[in-house]
Structure 1
C-alpha cells in the first residue's frame, strides 16, 4: 500500500476508533453507586465506643461507608466533615447533626455528586452507607423510592415539622431526601400565624415556599409642638417621641404621652398585623399663653338729621382693652348773640331779623373701654367732651347761637364692633349732654 493510500485511510480509522472505543471508556469511568443507606439502631460507636464532638461541643453522627476501595474524596455540605478515619473495609465520616448531602469522588472510579441522605442525620447516631464500585450493569441498584424536598420558610428562623418531627434548617432552608408519598408539614414561628398541611412527594423534586402571616405590627408616635415626650404603653415607659416600636402583638394598647410643662395625653391605639399605625399628638402647654393685643383701626361717621360728622377710632384689646375716638364736621362758628327757637334773644333785647342763613359746628373727643365679648363680637363704651353749635345769621351780619339746638359738655357713647376675619363693622349711639343724640357707624380693619 502506498503512502498516499495510508494517508487517505488514516482519518477514517481515527473516526472509527473514537466512535467505538471512547464511549466505552467514558461509560466505564463512573463505577460508584450507593446501594443502601440505613440507620444502625444497635450500633453504639458514635455514642459510646468512639464518639467525636463538633465545634459546638455536640456529639457527631457517624457514617460508616462500606467499601474495599481506597483514596476516596468527600465533599460535604455547608456543615462540613468533622473527622475521617480509614478502617478495614470501611471509611468512617463524622458529620454534625443536620447534615443533608455529600459528594463522593474517586480519581479512577468517577463521582456521585450531591447525594442526599435519605434519613435525618441526628447526633450520636451511626449510619451505614454501602458503596458498589463495580460495573453498574452487574450490581443491584438501591430502590428509588426517595425524592428531594426543599422547603423555604419566611421568616427563615421558623421551625419546620415534617410528620410531627422537627427538622433542622441549613442557611434558612430545609432540604432532605424523603420517601415518596404524603407527608404532613407544619411551619411555626413566634409572633406569626402557623401554617400546616399535607405535601406529596412524587417522581419530581418538591420545592415549597411557606410565608407565615405576622401576628404583629408597629406603632409610630409623634408629639407637637415639641418632641422628646415620654411614651408609655400600658403604663410601661418605652421611649421618647419621635417613637417607633419594636414588634407588638396585634390588639389594643393604652398610650400615655407626657412632657414637662404640658398636659399629658391618654389615648388608645389598635395594632394591626403587618401594618404600622402612626399618630401625631398635639400637646397643650400648662403655661397660659399670653394673649396678643388686637388692634382696631376704623373710620366712622356720626349721623344727626341736622348735622353729619366724620372721624375715626383706634383701639387695642386682648380680652379687655381701650380705645380713643375723635369726630368732627371740621367747621367752626363764631357767635355774638344767643337765641332760641322763638327767635327772641336770650338777653331780652327782643327779636332781631334773620336772613335765614345757618351755620353749624360739631366736635367730640372720647375714649373708653373696649371688650371682647365673644368672637367675633366686641363692645365699646366711653365718654369725653363734645359740643354742637347751631347759629342763625341776623340782617346786620351777626350770628346768634340757637341754644335749643346747641350744647357743650360731657359726651357718652355705647356701641359694638363685629369682626369678619380682618374686616370690622361698627354700630353705636353717641350723645352730648344727653341733649344731642347721634347714630354712629363705621368700617375698618382689625388685626
Structure 2
C-alpha cells in the first residue's frame, strides 16, 4: 500500500510541470493605400518586378521569423517587421518559439508597390480559460452517500468535495466482525444493520488535455457500521468501521459545459468506494 501511495504522489508531482503555450492570432490585415513605402523604398523580385510590403505589428517582434515569397532580409524595427514579398503572394508563415508556426492566408493577393498592415496578438486559447466546476456526486460502496464537488482550474487548480449519507448513528456497545463484545461475550443479532458515512476531501486539479482533467487529494471522514442485537441494542462493529484520513483520485471529462466525474476514494485505505457525478463546468 505504501508503494501505491508514493506512486500516486509521484504522478501528481510530475503532472504539475505540464504547461500549455499561448496562441497567436492575426487580429487585423488591411491594405494601406496612403503608405508609399513600397514605392519610395522599392525592392525588386527575381523578375525585376516591384514587391509588395507587409508591415507586421507585434510585441517582441525580433523573436519571430517569416517564410514565404520573401525578397531580401526582413527589416526589424521597434514593434514591427517589414517584409518584402513578390506580387501575387497568397500566404505567409510566421514562426516563434512561444507558439510554434502559423500559416496565414491573405484575404487578397498581394499587389506590387502596395503596402499591407498585419497585426498579431497573443491570445489565451479556449483551453487556457479559468473554469469553475460544480457537480453533485454520489459515493457508491457498501453504502451510498451524496454530496457536492466544486473546483476552479486553469492549467492547475483546486477542488473541494463533501459527501454524507444523511444518517445519524448512535450505538450502545461495540463488537468485532465475529459478533463478540470487547470482553469476549458473543452477541446474537437480529440481522438489522445501520451505517453512517461522511467524507470531506480537498486537493489539486490538473488539466491533462483540453477536455480532460485529473484530480487528487486528501481529507478526513468516517464510515460506521452497527448491528442490532437480540436485546435491541446497537453494537458498532469496530472491524468494519473506519475513521481517519480520506484519499481521493479521479478524473473529469468536460463536454462543452457538461462535466462528468469519476473516481475512487478510500478511508484509511480500508474502506473503498467509487465516486461519480454529472454537473456543469463553465
The answer as to whether partners of 1:224 and 1:280 remain within 8 angstroms in 2 is no
1:6-405 correspondence to structure 2 within 5 Å? 224-225=26-27, 237-238=37-38, 253=51, 255-261=53-59, 263=61, 266=66, 267-268=68-69, 270-271=87-88, 277=109, 281=118, 283-285=120-122, 291-304=128-141, 306-348=142-184, 350-405=185-240
Structure 2 regions of 5+ residues with no counterpart? 1-24, 40-46, 70-85, 90-107, 111-115
Which of 1 and 2 has greater Rg? 1
* Larger RCO of the pair (alpha carbons < 8 Å, separation 6+): 2
Q: Alpha carbons of 1:318 and 1:352: their partners in 2 closer, same or farther (altered >3 Å)?
A: same
Provide the TM-score with structure 2 as the length reference.
Answer: 0.63
Provide the TM-score with structure 1 as the length reference.
Answer: 0.41
User: 1:225 offset after TM fit, Å?
Assistant: 2.7
SS of aligned partner of 1:277? coil
- 2:52 and 2:258 map into 1 onto residues whose CA distance is 46
Q: Alpha carbons of 1:334 and 1:256: their partners in 2 closer, same or farther (altered >3 Å)?
A: same
SS of aligned partner of 1:404? helix
Q: Alpha carbons of 1:380 and 1:346: their partners in 2 closer, same or farther (altered >3 Å)?
A: same
Aligned residues: 207
The answer as to whether partners of 1:316 and 1:322 remain within 8 angstroms in 2 is yes
Q: Alpha carbons of 1:229 and 1:363: their partners in 2 closer, same or farther (altered >3 Å)?
A: farther
User: 1:265 offset after TM fit, Å?
Assistant: 7.6
Structure 1 regions of 5+ residues with no counterpart? 1-222, 240-248
The answer as to whether partners of 2:57 and 2:118 remain within 8 angstroms in 1 is no
The answer as to whether partners of 1:323 and 1:368 remain within 8 angstroms in 2 is yes
Residues 373-416 of structure 1, C-alpha deviations (whole Å, 9 max, x = no match) = 11111000000001001101122222111122210000001111
The answer as to whether partners of 1:230 and 1:257 remain within 8 angstroms in 2 is no
Residues 183-233 of structure 1, C-alpha deviations (whole Å, 9 max, x = no match) = xxxxxxxxxxxxxxxxxxxxxxxxxxxxxxxxxxxxxxxx953579999x9
